[in-house]
A and B are shown apart, each in its own frame.
Chain A
Amino acid sequence: GDSVTQMEGPVTLSEEAFLTINCTYTATGYPSLFWYVQYPGEGLQLLLKATKADDKGSNKGFEATYRKETTSFHLEKGSVQVSDSAVYFCALNSRQGAQKLVFGQGTRLTINP
């Protein structure tokens, strides 16, 4: 079945550091790919998405490119802030439109001042 694998956390960085959180997937067909962020005590917020190969999703300085050849959707940010501390989830759905999402295990990110 479809699956998502994220780099294990927790990840701790200093403010203004470069961030990469790796995400790879296994899916039949052509999934849409997502990054969600969960701040402490809250639900998930959609951070960015990409619906087809080579698409780049971006939001709030975060970027991720849909790489079909490597089945990856790595999250990057050039300069992180303390307010970026949260848990980040990579996810896919295997069909266009809102169907079931398959989540990675989540990566906890802590940014120190």
Chain B
Amino acid sequence: GAVVSQHPSRVICKSGTSVKIECRSLDFQATTMFWYRQFPKQSLMLMATSNEGSKATYEQGVEKDKFLINHASLTLSTLTVTSAHPEDSSFYICSASSQTQYFGPGTRLLVL
């Protein structure tokens, strides 16, 4: 099956710093990638849809200036959490689409 990787898998940062998370489709090209956020013991919340070569589409209530998304190529999308705060601590999961959505392993962010 299709493989999607995320990097880093785990990151701890200080409040006020920015963190970049990479999502790569390893064996297929993905014109669309999705970014989700998952709180403990809860379902996935779609944050934004990332389309290669164009601006991301954010879901209602998600701050686009806070969560910067770049989809520079057909195999790479990045999510940058700017000026992170403790409430941004969460599990961030990306997916890449090729008829079916394939999910990355997730990135656990802890902001101190």
Chain A residues with a Cβ under 8 A of chain B: 34, 36, 41-46, 49, 89, 93, 97-101, 103-106, 108
Contact = CB atoms under 8 A, between A and B. Distances in A.
Contacts, number: 51
12 contacts: A34-B100, A41-B108, A43-B6, A43-B106, A44-B103, A46-B100, A46-B101, A89-B43, A93-B101, A98-B100, A106-B43, A108-B41
B21 to A, nearest CB: 12
Contacts of B103: 36, 43-46
Interface string B41-82: 111101001000000000000000000000000000000000
A106 B97 CA distance: 21
Contacts of B44: 44, 89, 103
Contacts of A106: 42-43
Contacts of B108: 41
B85 to A, nearest CB: 24
A108 B43 CA distance: 11
Interface residues of B, number: 24
A69 to B, nearest CB: 25
Given A34-B100, A43-B103, A44-B93, 10 more contacts: A44-B103, A46-B103, A93-B101, A98-B32, A98-B98, A98-B99, A101-B46, A101-B95, A103-B43, A106-B43
A42 B106 CA distance: 6
Contacts of A100: 34, 46, 49
Q: What 8 pairs across the A-B complex have the smallest Cβ distances?
A: A98-B97, A44-B103, A43-B106, A43-B105, A43-B103, A103-B43, A105-B43, A43-B93
